[in-house]
Amino acid sequence: MPWLAAAPAARRWAAGLAALALAACASQPPQGPQQQPQAQPAPTPVPPAPQAAAPANGFAAWLAAFRAEARAAGIGEATLAAALDPAQYLPRVVELDRAQPEFTRAVWDYLDTAVSDARVARGQEQLARVRPEADAAAARYGVPAEVLGAVWGMESNYGANVGDTPTVDALATLAFDGRRADWARRELLAALRIIDNRDIDRAHMIGSWAGAMGQTQFMPSTFLGHAVDADGDGRRDIWGSMADVMASTASFLARSGWQAGQPWGVEVRLPPGFDVARADAGVRQDAAAWAAEGVQSASGAALPPLPDAQLLLPAGARGPAFLAGPNFRALLRYNNSTSYALGVGLLAQRLAGGEGVQAAWPRDLVPLTRSQVRTLQQALKARGFDPGEPDGVAGAATRRALRDWQRSAGLPADGFPTADLLQRLQQP
């Protein structure tokens, strides 16, 4: 899901730190039965369940004030009536928005599902079904069809799960709730513009609880900036038109820096004694310079000519290593999560008939809980290494502080938090 016009929200360390433009997809790698996506008409929304009364300070009063704001911004009266008259406060949206899961998911567990054999097989089948639309988008924007298919698979399980929450209701609830009010108001106004432009009507504008819409989960502001009418019917329909879905997704990635003709990255092997602290987003050089340091592709082939490439160790020094170029960072702009971007890249690789990850994941390691990460941050701070505010999320500052401490202790400085490191940090 494209992370545009964002307000901050935490994802877990293994998935990276998410700067929120879409707080959640309609689905993470899904569970349960799969359905075939329908190209036309747009999905029929599930009627909302009866809602509890809004807080005493008045959702209806807030909605009236917002209506005046939207009217002043140029939204037509017919749209205001159609979109806002039926608007409901959704307590479940607030519950999900405020939830902070204690337990984290290891990157290998995430990828086991995201790039499972079943998902690859289904993706190849579904991509074949929409090959003309995917190839047309690839030719127009320079983003391979398999990458578009992988985003489609990650965001909605190839259209099987686009969400069933009315977008207007979800965003109105978030804006009224106040935690992310400014962001949600902007997104709600963008949603009204989409309705006003007649790209979609209110009833069919459905998506995730966080307001992400369609088969590749655009936020309304992202839709306004990047959605494409590729089938020429006068509407940008990312719910039902596969031509529009593929072209809109490719448009976003192209404008996010995707470079045609380059891979997203490649799995690599590191030479003995390699300084793993160089696996840092701030350390970038072309593939030839990495090769000069002894970095080799896992397959034994020559490294692709990746410019401005960074080394990734998503599971620390004991796990697989990857060299990631500008296209990996374009995927991060879709969703600022290392696990997500790896999932898209590896799924695209498999959809194209390539191999999966070759090196073994350190499956004996158990990810730290949020509370444990907070304790680790506090211990780093007590030792004079600044991880930022202890918040239970192992972001860039925490990993940098952990690397600095590891280096001072004579340990491989991979910045990967483990129970063993936490125990060492807590020792006198």
The token pair at 183 is: 């962001």
The token pair at 369 is: 């809980």
Nearest to 5 by CA among 231, 208, 248, 188: 188
- Does residue 18 contact residue 9 with C-beta atoms inside 8 Å? yes
Predicted confidence at residue 2, as pLDDT, reads 78
Predicted confidence at residue 53, as pLDDT, reads 53
Q: Using alpha carbons, list the distances in angstroms from residue 330 to 65, 90, 91, 351, 428.
A: 38, 33, 34, 19, 44
Question: How many other β-carbons are positioned within 10 Å of the β-carbon of residue 377?
Answer: 27
Is omega for the bond preceding 41 within 30 degrees of 0, making it cis?
A: yes
**Counting Cβ atoms within 10 Å, is residue 87 exposed (0-12), middle (13-18) or buried (19+)?**
buried
Question: How many other β-carbons are positioned within 10 Å of the β-carbon of residue 209?
Answer: 23
DSSP string, 123-147: HHHHHHHTHHHHHHHHHHH---HHH
Q: Quick one: CA dihedral 131, 260, 358, 402, positive or negative?
A: negative
How open is the CA angle 113-119-121, to the nearest 5 degrees? Answer: 150
- Does residue 105 contact residue 15 with C-beta atoms inside 8 Å? yes
DSSP H stretches of helix in 162-275: 167-177, 181-196, 220-226, 242-255
Predicted confidence at residue 11, as pLDDT, reads 35
pLDDT by residue for the chain (428 residues), tens digit each? 775 433 333 333 333 333 333 334 544 433 332 333 333 334 444 444 444 455 646 999 999 999 999 999 999 999 999 999 999 999 999 999 998 788 889 999 999 999 999 999 999 999 999 999 999 999 999 999 999 999 999 999 999 999 999 999 999 999 999 889 999 999 999 999 999 999 999 999 999 999 999 999 999 999 999 999 999 999 999 999 999 999 999 999 999 999 999 999 999 999 999 999 999 989 999 999 999 999 999 999 999 999 999 999 999 999 999 999 999 999 999 999 999 999 999 999 999 999 999 999 999 999 999 999 999 999 999 999 999 999 999 988 999 999 999 999 999 999 999 999 999 999 98
d(C-alpha 257, C-alpha 103), whole Å:
33
d(C-alpha 395, C-alpha 417), whole Å:
11
